[in-house]
Amino acid sequence: MLISFPTAYFIHFMQKRWQPLFKSTISLPLVLPPSVLGYYLLVVFRPDSWLGTSFEKIFNAQLAFSFQGLVLGSVIFSLPFALNPVISALETLPNTLQEAAFTLGKSKLKAFLFVLLPNIKGAIWAGAVMSFAHTLGEFGVVLMIGGSIPQQTRVASIAIYDEVELMNYQQADVYALVLLVSSFGFLLLVHLFNKSK
């Protein structure tokens, strides 16, 4: 969400002719197969790439097959789930709100922070929960970037896959049930919150 707010601000106030290009770029993870996105992220994160080398020099850690790379990849993959509800809600607000803020001497940033965002709380909440719930169960990108390194990059969705491969269905049931209950709980929270508004 911290990335989605400045990105939404940038897209909302940019020239209209450039918006489709930026919206399409940000929404690309929604339509790309996760393994394809994971592969391209792995190429960008590899130790001999510009990003991989820079990250290793600064933080003395690698991005590929690491927890840090897993987090960064998950943020990139889940950004559309956080950002698209915010952008859609901003587009449905009447222009009069923004124009009134400008008439009262508010800058674009103040109008965005103190007028527009407070009027789309439901979309912000939905984006936050949906991106978190989506990240919780992600498989393809996580497997490509992080692998299945125990105690480091092995997440619940990968653990289910590993347990099924080992035919340990009881443990797979436990992991799957935790993901099912938590995902349902997050979705229920979103719908209850939106209904109350």
For every residue of 52-121, DSSP letters joined together read HHHHHHHHSS-STTSHHHHHHHHHHHHHHHHHHHHHHHHHHS-HHHHHHHHHTT--HHHHIIIIIGGGGH
Number of C-beta neighbours around residue 150 at 10 A: 8
Q: Classify 168 as helix, strand or coil.
A: coil
- Residue 91 near residue 16 (C-beta atoms within 8 A): no
Q: What is the pLDDT of residue 7?
A: 96
CB 37 within 8 A of CB 29: yes
For residue 46, is pLDDT > 70? yes
Q: What pLDDT, on a 0 to 100 scale, did the predictor assign at position 155?
A: 83
Q: Which two tokens stand for residue 23?
A: 């919206």
**Three-class SS state of 137:** coil
* pLDDT tier for residue 41 given thresholds of 50, 70 and 90: very high
Angstrom distance (rounded) from CA 146 to CA 34: 13
In the chain, what percentage of residues exceed pLDDT 70?
99
CA gap 168, 162 in Å, rounded? 9
pLDDT tier for residue 172 given thresholds of 50, 70 and 90: very high
Give yes or no for residue 8 having a pLDDT over 70.
yes
Highest mean pLDDT among 4-13, 120-129, 152-161: 4-13
Return the pLDDT at 90: 96
- What pLDDT was estimated at residue 197? 62
Which CATH number describes the domain made up of 4-196? 1.10.3720.10
What predicted TM-score, i.e. pTM, was given to this entire model?
0.82
Q: How far apart are CA 192 and CA 47, in angstroms?
A: 45
Which DSSP letter does residue 3 get?
T
Domain map (residue ranges) of the chain: 4-196
Burial class (CB in 10 A: 0-12, 13-18, 19+), 115: middle
